[in-house]
Amino acid sequence: LYLRHFGPKIADEAGALALAVKSGPISSLGTDNPLAYPVFGESGRWINRFGGLKVTHDNGTVTLDLIVEKIERDGEALKVRWRDAVHDFRVIQTFRPRADADVVETWVELVNGEKGAVRISRMSSFALVFPMLANDWRLMSLTGEWGSEGEVVDKPIERGRRIVLDSRSGIRDAWHNNPAFMLSIGGPSTETDGRVIGCALCWSGAWEMSFRRSEVDLLEVVGGPANVAGDYVLDSGKSIKLPVAALTYSENGKGQISRNFHRWARRHWMPNGTKERPTLLNNWEGTGLLFKESEIVKIMDGAKSVGVEMFVLDDGWFGLGEHLRNTDDRGLGDWYVNREKLPNGLAGLADEARKRGLKFGFWVEPEMANWGKCDLLEKHPDWALQEKGRPMRLGRGGTQVVLDFTNPAVRDEIWRQLDAAYSSVPGLAYIKWDANSNIENVGSTYLDAAHQGNLYFDYTMGYYDVLSRQRAKYPNLDMQVCSSGGGRMEYGSLRYCDEFWTSDNTDPRDRVKMQWGASMFYPACAIASHVTVTGRQVPFKYRVDVSFSGRFGFEMQPKSMSPRELEFAKNAVKEYHRIRPVVQQGDLYRLVSPFEHDYSALMYVDGAKTRAVICLYGLSRDTRKNYLPPLVLQGLDPAKRYRLRELNTESWRWPHSPLLGKCTDFVAEMEKGAAVPTGEALMKMGLPVSLGDKDYDSAIFELIAE
């Protein structure tokens, strides 16, 4: 089975098949078409000496040569059953189209029918050889670590080079590199122009994707879980299912790729992706670990007065005996309420929230424990990941370690504790699941010596096991995944979770860039964005406006808002609730990149094209020059006429700013209803906008079709 086309849909199948017989010579070394799942060692295929799968058979030989046994339809999906020509080793490859989003989900299952164990050194969810689509390839992906998530990097792949994107943390696997990419074919692409392939690997553990451009411009792309600790040992009679990769294609630049991913995620991938996500206030940046029940109740009063829908209690509510979580070196692993802090328990707080019309949620970090400082590890020291004979490597607080989630007994106990805590809270609405470590101790007391190499893969499967138990028992619980910020901004976690904490860095200027980057692959409903008190002096309005382009919330003491800020916040929350369906469920169009300009703009349009929301953010800008060109809008209905309103206005802000010129007047006219331009005009001439002479001026507009 060959891969002959990865591009736009071809309506006439016969026409496509006429071309699909065999391509011309694709290299001086061979003429074969690439297989749909190239592996290491295929006979006669010079191009595939690398391949997506590399194993050592039970007799010590090292190559594979796959032949198709059967191709089956499974509903919409296509299943290809491959078998090695010599060994009883099988690969079941599935392609599942999601036509309404233009996405194909693909994955493989490896089945070992050999007499002994097979060692797998490279295992890819997808392995694609693009046969001479172009002489120019560019790779766009996201990089970043703590506080710098979501940085867009877009560079050519040079001929003869191999580029590797990977993450080896085992846990914070969207740091360093995010497991998703866009490939521009035949030259650079923009937001609106160019042929682009998009791919997201839905995996939360260590992973690797590589891009090898040959001397004759074939591009070989493979990606899947990375066996960081050594070969994965697949015992005789066993099988392993590799994670899904979501693939998509656009003829119209990167913007379309993002919209495809967003739609696919909301409709087909995330657990409750089409549900509106709540606004909330989280206490972490307001209190840290040290709080009293009475203080939390006061914060709830503040949350109520701001008008958000939920209160979320962060780290610090649990612990046992000497290990109460009052400092960050203790308590993880013991998910029991600290009655000194919360005499009425979580249920008491939930009740206080309910009295104020707020929903309630709380924080957990289930995969972690504190070495020597928690009851769990005192009873079961072997339940932490550890290497025989080597001193423990200790993380946060000088004590944090990762629990051995390859071990079902550990998962059972952690789930027992979580379930007890969750079920003690009537009406529990939200869980923030955090994870603040990498796998530092690379060893498991549960896995035997021969299977230590399985650690990273099995760990991630253990994480999914607990998440899926949680989803099954609490299907409507909203869940945020967090890993020291955006360490788990990826679709493996989003299979079970509703959103991610985008970054611990809540500086709004930095967030403009991070959220832009995150939006390349992830929908606004999943991008948690909270208004906080930050070091940089930035107007409150700007902080709020930046949080509008995500799932809006607050992470501060409401009492630290001035009366004017409080009024502004209340109004903003109401406005966000009104525009929420457009931002969270609409189509995103990125208009002006903060990576290329000293301002940024993006917009969301609802499915019927009757409503749109436009966000405009000035970055640090020169004064008295660099006036903004009109914002050339996208995604509107050319025939509809749109009325405009500015939201979140503040007295000092445009249109009253003294430096502004005629364009301001035009928008003011639109607001009065005197000018009601068509979608066509807004998309061809653009919306005249302006930013004030302050560094951090911003604006939110709403367009409503007449």
Number of residues located near ligand DGJ, criterion CB under 6 A: 11
Q: How far, in Å, CA of 325 to CA of 568, rounded?
A: 35
- Measured from the CB atom, the residue of 229 and 364 that comes closer to ligand DGJ is 364
Burial class (CB in 10 A: 0-12, 13-18, 19+), 603: buried
Residue type, 703: L
- Measured from the CB atom, the residue of 470 and 600 that comes closer to ligand DGJ is 470
Can residue 378 be called a binding residue for ligand DGJ (CB under 6 A)?
no
Q: Which of 76, 114, 118 is nearest to 94 (CA)?
A: 76
- DSSP run (H or E) holding 81: strand 77-84
Provide, rounded to whole angstroms, the least separation between the CB of residue 170 and ligand DGJ.
Answer: 17
Q: CB of 221 within 8 A of CB of 189?
A: no
- Measured from the CB atom, the residue of 462 and 487 that comes closer to ligand DGJ is 487
CA 66 to mean position of chain CA atoms: 34
Provide, rounded to whole angstroms, the least separation between the CB of residue 503 and ligand DGJ.
Answer: 8
Provide, rounded to whole angstroms, the least separation between the CB of residue 421 and ligand DGJ.
Answer: 16
Q: How far, in Å, CA of 143 to CA of 651, rounded?
A: 38
Provide, rounded to whole angstroms, the least separation between the CB of residue 500 and ligand DGJ.
Answer: 10
Per-residue binder mask for ligand DGJ (CB under 6 A), 212-241, x = binder: ------------------------------
Provide, rounded to whole angstroms, the least separation between the CB of residue 365 and ligand DGJ.
Answer: 7
Distances (CA, A) of 582 to 310, 522, 549, 574, 614: 21, 16, 10, 14, 10
Q: How far, in Å, CA of 379 to CA of 383, rounded?
A: 9
Provide, rounded to whole angstroms, the least separation between the CB of residue 484 and ligand DGJ.
Answer: 5
Provide, rounded to whole angstroms, the least separation between the CB of residue 485 and ligand DGJ.
Answer: 5
Provide, rounded to whole angstroms, the least separation between the CB of residue 151 and ligand DGJ.
Answer: 18
Q: Which of 288, 361, 377 is nearest to 326 (CA)?
A: 288
Would you say how long the chain is, in residues? 706
Residues from 320 through 359 that contact ligand DGJ (CB under 6 A): none
- Measured from the CB atom, the residue of 58 and 504 that comes closer to ligand DGJ is 504
The residue range among 69-77, 164-172, 258-266, 477-485 that interacts with ligand DGJ, by the rule CB under 6 A, is: 477-485
Is the CA virtual torsion 382, 383, 387, 393 positive or negative?
Answer: negative
Provide, rounded to whole angstroms, the least separation between the CB of residue 312 and ligand DGJ.
Answer: 10
Provide, rounded to whole angstroms, the least separation between the CB of residue 75 and ligand DGJ.
Answer: 40
- Measured from the CB atom, the residue of 362 and 617 that comes closer to ligand DGJ is 362
The residue range among 100-108, 207-215, 254-262, 481-489 that interacts with ligand DGJ, by the rule CB under 6 A, is: 481-489
CA 516 to mean position of chain CA atoms: 12
Supply φ then ψ for residue 371, to 5 degrees: -65, 120
Can residue 552 be called a binding residue for ligand DGJ (CB under 6 A)?
no
Provide, rounded to whole angstroms, the least separation between the CB of residue 373 and ligand DGJ.
Answer: 15
- Measured from the CB atom, the residue of 284 and 589 that comes closer to ligand DGJ is 284
- Measured from the CB atom, the residue of 360 and 568 that comes closer to ligand DGJ is 360
Can residue 500 be called a binding residue for ligand DGJ (CB under 6 A)?
no
Q: How far, in Å, CA of 175 to CA of 686, rounded?
A: 37
Which of 191, 309, 315, 650 touches ligand DGJ by CB under 6 A? 315
Provide, rounded to whole angstroms, the least separation between the CB of residue 40 and ligand DGJ.
Answer: 40
Q: How far, in Å, CA of 532 to CA of 621, rounded?
A: 23
Provide, rounded to whole angstroms, the least separation between the CB of residue 493 and ligand DGJ.
Answer: 14
Which of 32, 84, 149, 314 touches ligand DGJ by CB under 6 A? 314
- Measured from the CB atom, the residue of 434 and 587 that comes closer to ligand DGJ is 434
Q: CB of 47 within 8 A of CB of 129?
A: yes
Q: How far, in Å, CA of 483 to CA of 502, rounded?
A: 9
Q: 234 Cβ partners below 8 Å, 6+ apart?
A: 110, 112, 117, 118, 119, 120, 240
Provide, rounded to whole angstroms, the least separation between the CB of residue 436 and ligand DGJ.
Answer: 5
The SS3 call for residue 372 is coil
Q: How far, in Å, CA of 178 to CA of 294, rounded?
A: 41
Q: CB of 367 within 8 A of CB of 170?
A: no
Q: How far, in Å, CA of 3 to CA of 68, rounded?
A: 13
Can residue 504 be called a binding residue for ligand DGJ (CB under 6 A)?
yes
Residues from 152 through 191 that contact ligand DGJ (CB under 6 A): none
The residue range among 202-210, 480-488, 586-594, 682-690 that interacts with ligand DGJ, by the rule CB under 6 A, is: 480-488
- Measured from the CB atom, the residue of 481 and 582 that comes closer to ligand DGJ is 481
Residues from 271 through 290 that contact ligand DGJ (CB under 6 A): 284
Provide, rounded to whole angstroms, the least separation between the CB of residue 626 and ligand DGJ.
Answer: 36
Nearest position to ligand DGJ, beta carbon = 315
- Measured from the CB atom, the residue of 457 and 501 that comes closer to ligand DGJ is 501
Burial class (CB in 10 A: 0-12, 13-18, 19+), 193: middle
Per-residue binder mask for ligand DGJ (CB under 6 A), 666-685, x = binder: --------------------
Which of 35, 101, 482, 514 touches ligand DGJ by CB under 6 A? 482
Can residue 501 be called a binding residue for ligand DGJ (CB under 6 A)?
yes
- The per-residue DSSP string of 529-546 comes to EEE---SS---HHHHHHH
Which of 434, 458, 498, 646 touches ligand DGJ by CB under 6 A? 434
Which of 256, 287, 417, 484 touches ligand DGJ by CB under 6 A? 484
Say which residue the tokens 């909270």 belong to. Answer: 530
Q: 556 Cβ partners below 8 Å, 6+ apart?
A: 281, 285, 286, 530, 531, 532, 533
- Measured from the CB atom, the residue of 318 and 589 that comes closer to ligand DGJ is 318
Q: CB of 433 within 8 A of CB of 405?
A: no
The residue range among 46-54, 64-72, 482-490, 512-520 that interacts with ligand DGJ, by the rule CB under 6 A, is: 482-490
Which of 112, 189, 400, 436 touches ligand DGJ by CB under 6 A? 436
Provide, rounded to whole angstroms, the least separation between the CB of residue 508 and ligand DGJ.
Answer: 16
The residue range among 58-66, 92-100, 299-307, 479-487 that interacts with ligand DGJ, by the rule CB under 6 A, is: 479-487
- Measured from the CB atom, the residue of 211 and 284 that comes closer to ligand DGJ is 284
Q: How far, in Å, CA of 326 to CA of 323, rounded?
A: 8
- Measured from the CB atom, the residue of 366 and 539 that comes closer to ligand DGJ is 366
- The per-residue DSSP string of 33-68 comes to PPBSS--TT-TT-GGGSS-SEEEE-TTS-----EEE
- Measured from the CB atom, the residue of 260 and 483 that comes closer to ligand DGJ is 483
Q: CB of 359 within 8 A of CB of 430?
A: yes
Q: 214 Cβ partners below 8 Å, 6+ apart?
A: 27, 47, 159, 160, 220
Can residue 485 be called a binding residue for ligand DGJ (CB under 6 A)?
yes
Can residue 510 be called a binding residue for ligand DGJ (CB under 6 A)?
no
Q: How far, in Å, CA of 219 to CA of 47, rounded?
A: 10
- Measured from the CB atom, the residue of 130 and 501 that comes closer to ligand DGJ is 501
Q: CB of 103 within 8 A of CB of 247?
A: yes
Give the residues lining the site for ligand DGJ (CB under 6 A).
284, 314-315, 363, 434, 436, 482, 484-485, 501, 504
